[in-house]
Amino acid sequence: MININMDKARDIHRDKIRQARNPKLAAKDVEFQRALETGADTSAIVAAKQALRDAPASAAIEAATTPDELKASWNAELLGDSPY
């Protein structure tokens, strides 16, 4: 029987989230700058950036007790396609 170290699996999962979110954060930074330059409302951009920053701390990651639950915690709407 294979035992999965869920603590290590959670760390790897969080690293994958960070890899997926970094280009999205950079794009939001550009979007934010453009909004500032035009005087547009930035509240939606700020909220999206915060959601990306909070993604590795999702409660679903810590609550996952199996690899399948951990994979299911991937927020495809926020992060894009799952790497799994």
Residue range 1-19, pLDDT digits in tens:
888 999 999 999 999 999 9
On whether the CB atoms of residues 17 and 55 are closer than 8 A, the answer is yes
Residue-wise DSSP of 3-22:
PP-HHHHHHHHHHHHHHHHH
Amino acid at residue number 32: F
| pLDDT, tens digit (0-9, with 9 covering 90-100), for 43-79 | 999 999 999 999 999 999 999 999 999 999 999 999 9
pTM value is 0.88
